[in-house]
Chain A
Amino acid sequence: MDLASISFLILAAILVGSALAVVLMNNIVRAALFLAALFGAASGIYVLLNADFIAIVQILVYAGAVTILILFSIMLTQNPNSKNSNPGNHQWVIAALIALGLCAAIVFSFAQNSAIANGAGNAVTAASTNNTVVIGNLLYSPTTYSYVLPFEIASLVLLVAIVGAIVIGRED
Chain B
Amino acid sequence: MDIFVRDIWVIPLLPLIALVLNLFLIRPLDVAYRDRAASHAGAAHDSHADHSEHSSSEAHYTAEELIESSYVSAIDTVDGHIDTPAAMPHALQTAQQTSGGKQAVALMRQWEQHPEHPHGQPTVYARLAGFVGIAGMFGSFAWAIGALFAMFGNTALQKGITIPLYNWLTFGSISYHVNFYADSLTVVMLVVVTAVSLLVQFYSQEYIESEEPRGYARFFAWLSLFAISMMILTLSANFLMIFIGWELVGVSSYLLIGFLGKDAPKIDGGRPSPSAAALKAFVTNRVGDFGFLIGIMILFAQTGTFTFTEIPQKLQGTDVTLITAAMILVFCGAVGKSAQFPLHVWLPDAMEGPTPVSALIHAATMVAAGVYLVARTFLLFHSFAGPQAAMVVAYTGGFTALFAALIAMVQVDLKRVLAYSTISQLGYMFVGLGVAGTDGPGMFHLMTHAFFKALLFLGSGGVLHALSGQQNMRKMGGLAAKIPLVAFPVLLATLSISGVPFLSGFFSKDEIIAQTLAHGDIALYVITVLTAFLTAFYMFRAWFLTFGGKGGAFGGLWGGKYRGDVHPHAPGMRIWLPLMLLAIPTVFAGYWGFAPLGGNFNAFITGNPAAAPFDNPFVDPMTYVSITLAFLGIGIAWLMYGMEVIPADALTRNPIGKGLHALFFNKFYVDELYMALIRFGIFLFAKIAVSFDKYVIDGIINGIGSGVLGIGRGLRKAETGRLQNYGAAFFGGALIIAAAFIAVVYFGK
Binding site for B on A (CB under 8 A): 89, 91, 94-95, 98-99, 101-102, 105-106, 108-109, 112
Contact = CB atoms under 8 A, between A and B. Distances in A.
Instruction: Report the 5 A-B pairs with minimum CB-CB distance, sorted nearest first.
Output: A105-B738, A101-B735, A98-B731, A102-B735, A98-B732
Determine chain A's interface SS by DSSP, over half rule.
Answer: helix
B725 A102 contact: no
B87 interface: no
A89 B723 CA distance: 12
B728 interface: yes
Contacts of B734: 102
Interface in B711-749: 724-725, 728, 731-732, 734-735, 738-739, 742, 746
Contacts of B742: 105, 108-109
B728 A95 contact: yes
B739 A101 contact: yes
8 contacts: A89-B724, A91-B724, A101-B739, A102-B731, A102-B738, A108-B742, A109-B738, A112-B746
A105 B732 contact: no
Interface string B626-644: 0000000000000000000
Contacts of A106: 738
A42 B742 CA distance: 30
A91 B746 CA distance: 31
A108 B739 CA distance: 10
A110 B728 CA distance: 23
B728 A91 contact: yes
A97 B725 CA distance: 14
A109 B746 CA distance: 9
Contacts of A108: 742, 746
A106 B732 CA distance: 14
B342 to A, nearest CB: 80
Interface residues of B, number: 11
A98 B739 CA distance: 11
Contacts of A109: 738, 742
A91 B735 contact: no
A94 B726 CA distance: 12
Nearest to A91: B728
Interface centre among B724, B732, B735, B746 (most CB of A within 10 A): B735
Contacts of A112: 746
Nearest to A100: B735
A98 B735 CA distance: 7
Contacts of B732: 94, 98
B741 to A, nearest CB: 8
A106 B731 CA distance: 13
Interface string B139-178: 0000000000000000000000000000000000000000
B690 to A, nearest CB: 53
A102 B735 CA distance: 6
A98 B728 contact: yes
Nearest to A105: B738
Given A91-B728, A95-B724, A105-B735, 19 more contacts: A89-B724, A91-B724, A94-B728, A95-B728, A98-B731, A98-B732, A98-B735, A101-B735, A101-B739, A102-B731, A102-B734, A102-B735, A105-B738, A105-B739, A106-B738, A108-B742, A108-B746, A109-B738, A112-B746
Interface in B639-658: none
Nearest to B739: A105
B725 A91 contact: yes
Contacts of B724: 89, 91, 95
B131 to A, nearest CB: 93
A106 B739 CA distance: 10
Contacts of B746: 108, 112
Interface string B362-401: 0000000000000000000000000000000000000000
Contacts of A99: 731
Nearest to A89: B724
A105 B744 CA distance: 13
Contacts of A91: 724-725, 728
A98 B732 CA distance: 6
Contacts of B731: 98-99, 102
A106 B738 CA distance: 8
Nearest to A106: B738
A91 B742 CA distance: 26
Contacts of B738: 102, 105-106, 109
B235 to A, nearest CB: 91
Contacts of B725: 91
Interface centre among A99, A102, A106 (most CB of B within 10 A): A102
A99 B732 CA distance: 9
A105 to B, nearest CB: 4
Nearest to B738: A105
A109 B735 CA distance: 13
B112 to A, nearest CB: 82
Nearest to B732: A98
A109 B744 CA distance: 12
Nearest to B733: A98
A98 B731 CA distance: 7
Nearest to B737: A105
Interface string B300-311: 000000000000
Contacts of B735: 98, 101-102, 105
A61 to B, nearest CB: 25
Contacts of B728: 91, 94-95, 98
